[in-house]
Structure 1
Amino acid sequence: MEKIKVQDSVGSVLIHDMTQIIPGVSKGPRFRKGHVVQEEDIPVLLSMGKEHIYVWDQTPGLIHENEAAERLAQAASGPGLVYDSPKEGKVTLSAAQDGILYVSEEGILALNTLEYIVFSTLHNHRPVKKGDKVAGTRVVPLMIDEKVILEAERIAGTFSSPLLEVRPMKSLKVGIVTTGSEVFHGIIQDKFGPVLRAKVESWGSVVLGQTLASDDVSRIQSCIRDYLSQGAEMILVSGGMSVDPDDVTPTAIKEMGAELITYGAPVLPGAMFLLAYMGDVPILGLPGCVMYSKTTAFDLFAPRLLTGERLSRLDIVKLGHGGLCLDCPVCTYPQCSFGK
C-alpha cells in the first residue's frame, strides 16, 4: 500500500471505498474500491478532506479489508444465511428464511478475541424473518495480515456446528389438552384454546384439536395418549400448573412415564412452565399467564422445539439471565431484552 497526494492521483486505482458525509443529507461511499481517479474527482476528494489516497503496492502476506470480511462471513455462516458484497469494508449477514437464529456464543467470542477482528450478531435464539439483518463483520485495518484470517477460519472450523445459522420452524401436528374442572363442566369459558391455536398456527404448525379435561389424573393422561395415537408431534397441556392440591397436571404428566426435563423455569411470566418428553414428542405444561400475557416462557421455548432442538434443563435455566419481562404497555418482542 502506497500513500500518494490527491493532486498526483489521476489514473490511480482506489484500494478502498471512500465515504462522503454531507451533514443532514447523506452518508455513503462516494468512490468505490477499484475506481480509477479522474481529473474531475480531485476537487471532490479534496472537499471530502482527503489530501492523500492509498494505492495497492502488493505487499506479500497482506489482504484487503473487503476480502478479509468476506472470508470471515463465509467461515461463520451456516444454513439459512446469505451475505452481501463488502461495503466500506463491512459484510452484512441476513436471514435467507424465516426461523430462529442460532449463534455460537463461544465461537463469536473466539473470533473477536483475535486482534483486529470485528464480528457482531443479534442475540442467540431470536426469531427472525427472511431478509432480517442478523450479523455484520469487518476488520479494523485497511490491510490485514492473512495469518489472522487463516486463524479465524481455523477457529470456526473447530466447532461442530456453524457459528451462525437460521433454522426454520417445522410444521408439526399439535394437540391441545385444556385442564380444569370449571372449564370442563362449562362453569367458565375456556380462554386458552384461541390463544394457543393462534400462536401454533402463526408458527406454521397444525392443531389436531383441543380436548377439555377435568382435574383428574387419569382423564388428563387419557387425553394425552389419545393425541399421541393420532400422531401428535407436540402436545400442549394448559392449566392446572400451580402448586394447589387440585392442580394435578404436572402429576398426570410425570406419572404417565414421560421424561421430565423441568417443572419450573426462571422466566417471568411463565415460572410454572413444564417440559417433558414421551419419546421424541415434547409435552409442554403451560401456566395461566399464557392466556393473558403477550409473551411468556412458552414463546421462548416452543419455537426452539419447533426447529427440532431437544431442550435440556440447562437450556432452560440459562434464561434466568434475561428471563424477566418488563410488561411493556405495548409488547415489542423480540425487539427487547426478554429472553436474551
Structure 2
Amino acid sequence: MAKKIRVEDAVGQVLLHDITKVDGDKFKGRIFKKGHVIREEDIPVLKDVGKDHIYVFEIKEDEIHENDAAYILADALMGENTYHSKEVKEGKLTIYSDVFGVCKIDVEKLNEFNSIGEPSCPTIYNNTVVKKGDKLAAVRIISLVAPKAEVEKAAKIAKEAGGIVKVVPFTPKKAGLIVTGNEVYKGRIKDKFEEKLRPKLKKLLCEIEEKVILPDDQAQIRDKIKEFAQKYDLVILTGGTSVDPDDVTYKAIHEAGVKNYIRGNPIQPGNMLTMGWIEDTPVVAVPAAALFFKRTAFDIWLPRLLIGEVISKEEVIKRAHGGLLEAVNGEIP
C-alpha cells in the first residue's frame, strides 16, 4: 500500500524506486536511485521534476518490488552465453550476448512469458547474428510492485525452457567451393563467385579451404559433392540451378544422397537457392543473384548453417514473410 507525503516532509525517507528526469530530447535518465535517503538539498531537485509528493510503499508479503522482480526474471530468462547488467535501472535489467554467434529466442515461450500480466520482456529478432556485448533483451515488471505469484509463474516458464534467450556461438569452419559451368571451366569467363562469397564466410569464421571448377557434368558434380562433404564443414556450389534444362547442379545435389532436400525458397533475391545435408554437412547451391545483390537467400540461411542447424521445408515456407529482401531496410534476421 502506498502512502503519499509531501517532499518537504520526506527528508530521511528511503526511495523505493528510481526517479528519472526528462529534459526535452537532450536527456532522459535516473537522477535518484532506489535506496537513496532523501536530504534537504534534494527537495528543490525533486520539485524541478514535478515531484511535489513522494510515495512510501508498504510491500505486502505476497508482493514483490520491481527491482527484485527484475533479477528473478532475468536470471530465469538467460540461456547459454548470455549475461545481464549488474544494476537495475528504472526497474529494468538488460540481457547481453557473451559471444559472437546467432541469438536464439524461444518465441513460443516468450509469448507465454509475456502473457502473464506484469512481467515484460522485449527481445531482438530470433536468429539475429550478434557480437559479444550486443543487447538481446530487456526485462522488468510493468508496475512498481507486482504480485509475487505472477513473477514466480513467469520465471518458472523461462526456467523450464532452459532459458528463453541464448546465443549459439560461431566456431571456425572450413568450406569447399564447387564452381560449375562449361563457360567457366573452359575459361570463356572468369569466376566471380569466390570473391563475393569469401568475405561473407570469413566474417562468420568460415574459410574456403578448397575450390574446384567443374563442367556441367552431373556425375562429376555429384562425386565432388560427396568428397567435399567428407572433408569440410560446408559444401557450396555455384551455377547450374536455374530452370534451364542444361542446368544440372541441383540434380547432382539430389543424386548425391542429401537428406532434407530443398530446392528453391520464397525469398528474393535468391529464389533458386537449393540445399540439403549429407549426414551433418550442409550442401548449398548459391544462385547467380549473389553476384549482383548485397543480400540474398544465402545470407539468410548461412549463419544458421554454420551453427549446425538443419532447416526444415516448413521453416523455409514461413520465411516468405519478410522475404522480399530488396524492400527491407537495415539488418534482418
Query: What interval of TM-score do these two structures reach, taking the shorter chain for normalisation?
Result: over 0.9
Letter paired with 2:320? G
1:89-142 CA distance string (max 9 Å, x none): 111112212111111111111111111222111111111112221211211110
C-alpha displacement of 1:225: 2.9
Partner in structure 1 of residue 120 of structure 2: 118
Partner in structure 2 of residue 170 of structure 1: 171
Q: Secondary structure at the match of 1:16?
A: coil
Partner in structure 1 of residue 239 of structure 2: 239
For residues 297-316 of structure 1, the aligned pairs below 5 Å read 297-316=297-316
Structure 2 distance, partners of 1:333, 1:223, is 37
C-alpha displacement of 1:257: 1.6
CA contact (8 A) 2:262 2:275 kept: yes
Structure 2 distance, partners of 1:17, 1:180, is 65
Partner in structure 2 of residue 22 of structure 1: 23
Structure 1 distance, partners of 2:278, 2:7, is 72
Partner in structure 2 of residue 215 of structure 1: 216
For residues 47-196 of structure 1, the aligned pairs below 5 Å read 47-84=48-85, 85-159=87-161, 161-196=162-197
1:48-73 CA distance string (max 9 Å, x none): 11122123424211111111122221
Letter paired with 1:89? G
CA contact (8 A) 1:213 1:223 kept: no
Instruction: In structure 1, list runs of 5 or more residues that go unmatched.
Output: none
C-alpha displacement of 1:308: 1.7
CA contact (8 A) 1:177 1:237 kept: yes
For residues 227-266 of structure 1, the aligned pairs below 5 Å read 227-229=228-230, 231-266=231-266
> What do you get for the CA RMSD once the two structures are aligned?
1.6
The percentage of aligned residue pairs carrying the same residue is 37
1:184-224 CA distance string (max 9 Å, x none): 11001101111112211111012111110100001112322
Q: Residues 58 and 139 (structure 1 numbering): CA distance in 2 closer, same or farther, change over 3 Å?
A: closer
Instruction: In structure 2, list runs of 5 or more residues that go unmatched.
Output: none
1:207-265 CA distance string (max 9 Å, x none): 11111010000111232233234x21110011111110110001111112222431011
CA contact (8 A) 1:295 1:333 kept: no
Partner in structure 2 of residue 34 of structure 1: 35
Structure 2 distance, partners of 1:113, 1:46, is 37
Q: Residues 333 and 192 (structure 1 numbering): CA distance in 2 closer, same or farther, change over 3 Å?
A: farther
CA contact (8 A) 2:269 2:297 kept: yes
CA contact (8 A) 1:178 1:210 kept: yes
Structure 2 distance, partners of 1:25, 1:181, is 62
Q: Residues 142 and 41 (structure 1 numbering): CA distance in 2 closer, same or farther, change over 3 Å?
A: same
Q: Secondary structure at the match of 2:95?
A: strand
CA contact (8 A) 1:179 1:214 kept: yes
Q: Secondary structure at the match of 2:121?
A: strand
Structure 2 distance, partners of 1:286, 1:95, is 30
Partner in structure 2 of residue 284 of structure 1: 284
- 2:295 matched to 1:295? yes
What is the TM-score with the length of structure 1 in the denominator? 0.93
Letter paired with 2:45? V
CA contact (8 A) 1:174 1:207 kept: yes
Q: Secondary structure at the match of 1:149?
A: helix
Show structure 1 runs of 4+ deviating over 3 A: none
